[in-house]
Chains A and B, each alone.
Chain A
């Protein structure tokens, strides 16, 4: 059986990267082990928990369910890139002020998913925010504080609060 490494070229957080990867390596193992971007977490590795969420070509995906080799030519944004760009600094502030994290394991994934929601919707009933976020598990907070933080960010953005 062959296990040759394959050359890939992609953009990660705006930076051009070329690397050689084994086909069996998924995107988050690549990000964590080869690029040392350890903000994306691995919980279940079968698509249930959402801790590995990253942005691939503009949309949030399960980073454990995409092979690194498939990302040749792609644009990947991780929590490190999203933080650096300032795109979700208001959301991150609200996560802190609302105690929307405790151990922090799920937080990068929560933020990646919430970032897509905030990008798509200006306003949404609380119940629908819950539903949008339902693919991300949190074992500490009981979710209410997370939904609070997202709702408050949405309200602030709508009313122009900086």
Chain B
């Protein structure tokens, strides 16, 4: 037929294993030369742009054991190949994981959510992605499997740096175990982007126990501005014991200068991102306080 296709992606071998063990043995054979194809919403752009040149692409879309959401003792399990649209539409998630439910509408656009997967987003660890920040705020556990078996990694120990995680080259992300909210815990989520659904320029996921507007416990995880989702340890310590008011001492938010090291790029200068994160922090804690008043 007549029309000639332009050549874009580099050549690679494609395999679509029918079982997890087959996928893992391929992965251990090729390791760094292989890429796992989950939803493909980040991998395929890098192939089309020739930013990535794997020898082999291992498509795990047929592995049904990696799909689905279930309520288990103390946590909700989200299988790695569960698509964002399914997580977003899940009653289990809406009832038990309020932070995930609040953040998902910020994850890309409808066509990308129809295809992109929960596990893919965690495994890639894009610095601007919402789900890594949320699971770190919730202190979830990530289940990985390689040739020597399964292991669990705490979210606190998972994110190493820019697209760099505790996953070994021969491991596949199987599922994420997200703890149920403790009684009295509230969550809030704030993100700044040019167009809703685009990559975050700055953002924060908040988990707090608040009594009479006083922060008994608070955990804040920042994304978009940093190389990896980052816990705001100093600002959290400064906020504990503080009572919320519109006139809360803004010096507290300056603690972020010791927590964050924003990336200078076309989405904004480091100084501007630091400013945004301070503003978003105030909005996030205000939103959390408001939720305790609604209960």
Which residues from chain A contact B55 at a C-beta distance below 8 Å? 1
Q: Are A34 and B111 in contact (CB under 8 A)?
A: no
Of the candidates B8, B61, B109, B114, which one forms a contact with A59 in the assembled complex, judged by CB atoms under 8 Å apart? B114
How far apart are B45's CB and chain A's nearest CB, in angstroms? 4
Which residues from chain A contact B5 at a C-beta distance below 8 Å? 25, 29-30, 32-34
Q: Are A47 and B112 in contact (CB under 8 A)?
A: yes
Which residues from chain A contact B49 at a C-beta distance below 8 Å? 45-46
0/1 interface trace, chain B 7-43, chain A, CB 8 Å (1 if under): 1111111101000000000000000000001001100
Q: Are B196 and A134 in contact (CB under 8 A)?
A: yes
Confirm or deny: A135 has a beta carbon within 8 angstroms of a beta carbon on chain B. yes
Residue among B3, B48, B61, B111 with most chain A CB within 10 A: B111
Q: Are A36 and B3 in contact (CB under 8 A)?
A: yes
Of the candidates B14, B41, B110, which one forms a contact with A65 in the assembled complex, judged by CB atoms under 8 Å apart? B41
Q: Are B11 and A3 in contact (CB under 8 A)?
A: yes
Q: Please report the total number of A residues contacting B with Cβ < 8 Å.
A: 41
Confirm or deny: B2 has a beta carbon within 8 angstroms of a beta carbon on chain A. yes
Of the candidates B14, B108, B112, which one forms a contact with A6 in the assembled complex, judged by CB atoms under 8 Å apart? B14
Q: Are A135 and B112 in contact (CB under 8 A)?
A: yes
Residue among B4, B10, B44, B114 with most chain A CB within 10 A: B44
Confirm or deny: A139 has a beta carbon within 8 angstroms of a beta carbon on chain B. no
Confirm or deny: B286 has a beta carbon within 8 angstroms of a beta carbon on chain A. no
Complex Cα–Cα for A70 and B2 (A):
24
Confirm or deny: A156 has a beta carbon within 8 angstroms of a beta carbon on chain B. no
Q: Are B1 and A36 in contact (CB under 8 A)?
A: yes
- A16-30 CB contacts (< 8 Å) to partner B: 22-26, 29-30
Which residues from chain A contact B14 at a C-beta distance below 8 Å? 6, 23, 67, 69
Confirm or deny: B47 has a beta carbon within 8 angstroms of a beta carbon on chain A. yes
How far apart are A58's CB and chain B's nearest CB, in angstroms? 9
Confirm or deny: B195 has a beta carbon within 8 angstroms of a beta carbon on chain A. yes
How far apart are A68's CB and chain B's nearest CB, in angstroms? 10
Confirm or deny: B59 has a beta carbon within 8 angstroms of a beta carbon on chain A. yes
Q: Please report the total number of B residues contacting A with Cβ < 8 Å.
A: 38
Complex Cα–Cα for A30 and B59 (A):
19
Which residues from chain A contact B11 at a C-beta distance below 8 Å? 1-3, 22-24
Q: Are B9 and A47 in contact (CB under 8 A)?
A: no
Complex Cα–Cα for A60 and B83 (A):
13
Complex Cα–Cα for A70 and B40 (A):
11
- Nearest to B49 among chain A residues (CB) is A46
Confirm or deny: B161 has a beta carbon within 8 angstroms of a beta carbon on chain A. no
How far apart are A27's CB and chain B's nearest CB, in angstroms? 10
Which residues from chain B contact A93 at a C-beta distance below 8 Å? none
Apart from the given pairs A30-B5, A45-B45, A136-B109, 18 other A-B contacts in the complex at a CB distance below 8 Å: A1-B12, A22-B11, A24-B8, A26-B9, A29-B6, A32-B3, A33-B3, A33-B5, A34-B1, A34-B5, A46-B45, A59-B85, A60-B110, A60-B114, A61-B111, A65-B115, A70-B37, A70-B59
Residues of chain A at the chain B interface (Cβ within 8 Å): 1-4, 6, 22-26, 29-30, 32-36, 38, 45-47, 50, 53, 56, 59-62, 64-67, 69-70, 113, 116, 131-132, 134-136
What are 30 A-to-B residue pairs whose CB atoms are below 8 Å? A3-B11, A23-B12, A24-B7, A24-B9, A24-B10, A26-B9, A26-B44, A29-B8, A30-B5, A32-B5, A33-B5, A35-B1, A38-B3, A45-B45, A45-B49, A47-B41, A53-B111, A60-B111, A62-B41, A62-B111, A65-B115, A66-B44, A66-B115, A67-B14, A70-B16, A70-B37, A70-B40, A131-B196, A134-B197, A135-B112
